[in-house]
Structure 1
């Protein structure tokens, strides 16, 4: 993770997920968060060993990290973060948040989540401590109505893209250009992922 010029970084976003694979919906959400929150930097954090569910098509952390690095190349405000990938422990957002807060002690940190995750936010590890370290922001999601008050929200268009859908299309040899970037598609094909 690049730690250069920390003094100029006032507002940081953390956007975590399985990114299995990272797709155009993720990128649109990331760009929207950067715009709406006026972020100086947004970290994309692929989960390592998830504390929640994990499906059979979960590719290695190294592969998911490589794909994230590819989509970050063309956006100077997007940065890959490998904290959870290189950790051998179960991934918890709190641990990642602590590390980023240590590197950027004077920055305002936003933890960006989907509205579906907001439903069980209070059950997250060390939730009470997290609210002292960051501001939670969630994207509105179709079919969800969060009952947690006081969270910042970003009204986003509904992205009809999911990693599950993309993995099915890969297995069926269907076109992918509407769903993932050319660089990610090339990486998936070169490494024969999701077959």
Structure 2
């Protein structure tokens, strides 16, 4: 008997951040989230890195121009299932997560579920930082899935405690998922910048094309 083919649910994975620069660790995170999505019964159609715009340089003066960071993301994704999302970094003001995800959802259409890749610190910020309005948080947690990639059970316990700490985080019981990275991942953008300053090799930290770009343009040397 031939079993009927059932179309799996479609998902796009989004990850926001400075990407100053994008690292191998970011790719490990996204591969982890893709595995989690697939385990939940979704077919991952696309995965996007969305760099923050230049407006964030008000708080991070050493943040490189958005066009430079976006170009490094594009280089790193050149041979990957992941892509640069080209909207947020071109904006002239801060972009709230709600605005970003709603924009991408409109682009994706109603048949695609958006998964947002993040760490426990973002969930903590959503619960307690005044920059996140309860209205935005409720909207996000009801409409999208947040996949928190953390390395320890303590981090999972922390996320559960955060969700239970504020009434407006209640939808997160259904839409915040904690998972562990598929491989050891302690690579950060700070680690890459320090390696450049100390003239250490970047092999294994960033994509070879990104390493070449950093050297050719003299980035992070000061």
Q: Specify the alignment match of 1:78 in structure 2.
A: 82
Deviation of residue 90 (structure 1)?
0.9
Q: Output the CA distance in 1 between the equivalents of 2:57 and 2:143.
A: 22
The DSSP-based 3-state class of the residue aligned with 2:199 is coil
Structure 1 unaligned residues grouped into runs of 5+: 1-7
Deviation of residue 51 (structure 1)?
6.0
Q: Sort the Cα spacing of 1:52 and 1:115 in 2 relative to 1 into closer, same or farther, 3 A.
A: farther
**CA RMSD after TM alignment:** 2.3
Deviation of residue 159 (structure 1)?
1.5
Give TM-score scaled by structure 1 length. Answer: 0.86
Q: Output the CA distance in 2 between the equivalents of 1:119 and 1:53.
A: 22
More helix by share: 2
Q: Sort the Cα spacing of 1:52 and 1:172 in 2 relative to 1 into closer, same or farther, 3 A.
A: closer
Moved over 3 A (4+): 49-56, 141-144
The DSSP-based 3-state class of the residue aligned with 2:106 is helix
Q: Deviations over 1:69-93 (max 9, x none)?
A: 1121112x31211222110011211
Which of 186, 190, 198 is matched with 1:164 structurally? 190
Contact 1:19 1:64 in 2 (8 A): yes
Q: Sort the Cα spacing of 1:186 and 1:84 in 2 relative to 1 into closer, same or farther, 3 A.
A: same
Which of 90, 95, 101 is matched with 1:97 structurally? 101
Q: Specify the alignment match of 1:3 in structure 2.
A: none
In the alignment of these two chains, the number of paired residues is 187
Q: Specify the alignment match of 1:128 in structure 2.
A: 138
Structure 2 unaligned residues grouped into runs of 5+: 1-7, 39-43, 164-171
Deviation of residue 94 (structure 1)?
1.2
Q: Mean Cα displacement is larger for which, 33-42 or 86-95?
A: 33-42
Q: Mean Cα displacement is larger for which, 49-58 or 131-140?
A: 49-58
Which protein shows a greater Rg? 2
Deviation of residue 178 (structure 1)?
2.2
Which of 58, 66, 73 is matched with 2:63 structurally? 58
The DSSP-based 3-state class of the residue aligned with 1:45 is strand
Contact 2:57 2:63 in 1 (8 A): no
Q: Output the CA distance in 2 between the equivalents of 1:121 and 1:110.
A: 16
Q: Specify the alignment match of 1:153 in structure 2.
A: 178
Do residues 139 (structure 1) and 143 (structure 2) align?
no
Q: Deviations over 1:93-150 (max 9, x none)?
A: 1111111111112211111111121112235351121123311111115674222252
Q: Output the CA distance in 1 between the equivalents of 2:210 and 2:11.
A: 28
Give TM-score scaled by structure 2 length. Answer: 0.76
